[in-house]
Amino acid sequence: MTPKDWVEGDGSIVPAANDDERETIEIELLLEGIHRLYGYDFRNYALPSLKRRIFHHIHAENLQTISGLQEKVLHDRACFDRLVLNLSIPVTEMFRDPSLFKMFREKVIPILRTYPYIRIWHAGCSTGEEVYSMAIMLHEEGLYDKARIYATDMNDRSLQQAKEGVYGIERMQLYTKNYLEAGGTQSFSEYYTARYNSVMFHPFLRKNIIFAEHNLATDRSFNEFNVIFCRNVMIYFNDELRNHVHGLFHESLSHFGVLVLGSKESIQFTDYSHCYEPLDRNEKVYRKIK
């Protein structure tokens, strides 16, 4: 028995909550409050990374405790918006994992070529770099005009940047390298105009992209797609939410539709693993078979 344990009237001992338990309870209360007040549902995000982010945010807001953050978030919309930005981890790049885009060009594009019309969903598109990469690839393969790309994210600030297609010029060296490794056939700089410290991607790339807010935890399927990209999003979810989102994708993919996950993700060990066959196991690209 520790000094903080509680002795009940019948003599039984109720152990004191340890710090971990206390933290978990406070986090659950914070997430419950956010869900009820703002409708954003982080309750099934994986706890370890969520905790790290929340403590980082407490520090950034000059606060001491999770309860202090809860009070501020529930009374101050701007503080909540900053927290969403922090929890959403909008890290991305163009032609991220170039070998995946190369494989897509070689193995998936020939399949898409046989379709009269192509619908692609980028779920959790962040600031849009992955979407412009897809637009460039479809353009080079002569498929862009018959494609519609749906680019969604829960974070409206990221989406705003995605719509503008403006990125820091210092990123272009890496993006050019990725583009070439991904099998790009043109000069990458033809796709943007540089202005001072930033570049703007050409509007023709945006012509067939529809940007929209969509939350994978709370929103429904909204169309049928030939391809769904959802990379580096579900790594932040727990098993329950991951299965829920796979249900959404399964419902939203056409027969033989292609699902593309992030390099550290897999369809294995989800409730839907038997519904897909790998098109390329290393690149985490799957085809729906039932």
Ligand X SMILES: C[S@@+](CC[C@H](N)C(=O)[O-])C[C@H]1O[C@@H](n2cnc3c(N)ncnc32)[C@H](O)[C@@H]1O
Q: Distance (Å, rounded) from C-alpha 238 to C-alpha 18?
A: 23
Q: Distance (Å, rounded) from C-alpha 105 to C-alpha 24?
A: 45
Annotate 28-41 with three-state secondary structure. HHHHHHHHHHHCCC
Q: Which residues contact 133 (CB under 8 A, 6 or more apart)?
A: 94, 95, 96, 101, 179, 182
Q: With respect to ligand X, which residue has the nearer C-beta, 153 or 283?
A: 153
Q: With respect to ligand X, which residue has the nearer C-beta, 89 or 109?
A: 89
Q: Which residues contact 280 (CB under 8 A, 6 or more apart)?
A: 103, 107
Q: With respect to ligand X, which residue has the nearer C-beta, 165 or 262?
A: 262
Which residues sit at the interface with ligand X, rule CB under 6 A? 88-92, 96, 124-126, 130, 153-155, 158, 215-217, 231-233, 262
Q: Residue 213 CB, nearest distance to ligand X (Å)?
A: 9
Q: With respect to ligand X, which residue has the nearer C-beta, 73 or 129?
A: 129
Q: With respect to ligand X, which residue has the nearer C-beta, 98 or 124?
A: 124
Tokens of 73: 């978030």
Q: Residue 233 CB, nearest distance to ligand X (Å)?
A: 4
Q: Which DSSP symbol is given to 115?
A: S
Q: Residue 231 CB, nearest distance to ligand X (Å)?
A: 4
- What does R_g of the chain's alpha carbons equal in angstroms? 22
